[in-house]
Amino acid sequence: MAALTAPALFDGVTDTGLCASDVLPVLFGPEDLVCAGWICERPVVLKCSLWLPRAGTAQFIVPNPMKDRTGLTREGKRSARCQDNVAERRFVVAEFDDAAFGKPEQARVASALNSALPLVLAVDSGGKSLHCWFDCRGRDDQDVAAFFAAATRLGADRTRWDTCGWVRMPGGQRVKSNGGKVKQKVLWLKSNKEGGAH
């Protein structure tokens, strides 16, 4: 892995100005089923093409495509957002959420991890962390697990290993406890021209 002193791909602060409708087609095909939502408890699965006009107001997204509208939870209940309903692990997300670990430092770590798996997207959560998406398609499960273990040693949140876990919608809106809204800025996107995600 590249040294953390290597130049960062992005600075961890500057907004690219991209919207959710710009980003989702890089991550998903138009017919891919995407699970997203405005509140944690109400996941909605729609084709990516149907999410495009409304994704910018959502808070959350599952970083992997879904199989169907719902799947079965471990308890045998129908749910849109469950591991049984994940079609494939397409991306692994490293979230750096230590308040003492500034966003420029998080950007440097994510950039270093790019030497092991391609960094496709970095999103400012609207809080203290960055959500950094890495493309793991075609990689051996053990290699992906080793990558994630390395990311956690560098400060990434261990709970992001869950294939159906929520992350912040790129270009979406975070609703604060006081009801205010903060843009979840897109800080980095590897475009199609650069050999991006889709």
The reported pLDDT for the residue numbered 119 is 97
Q: Give per-residue pLDDT as tens, 69-79.
A: 999 999 999 99
> Which class is 20-194 in CATH?
alpha beta
Domain ranges of the chain: 20-194
Q: Give per-residue pLDDT as tens, 126-179.
A: 999 999 999 999 999 999 999 999 999 999 999 999 999 999 999 999 999 898
23: CB partners within 8 A, 6+ apart: 121, 170, 171, 186, 189
Closest CA to 134 of 103, 104, 167, 102: 167
Q: Provide the CA 149 distance to its chain's centre, in angstroms.
A: 17
Would you say the pTM of this structure is higher than 0.85?
A: yes
Under 8 Å between Cβ of 52 and 25: yes
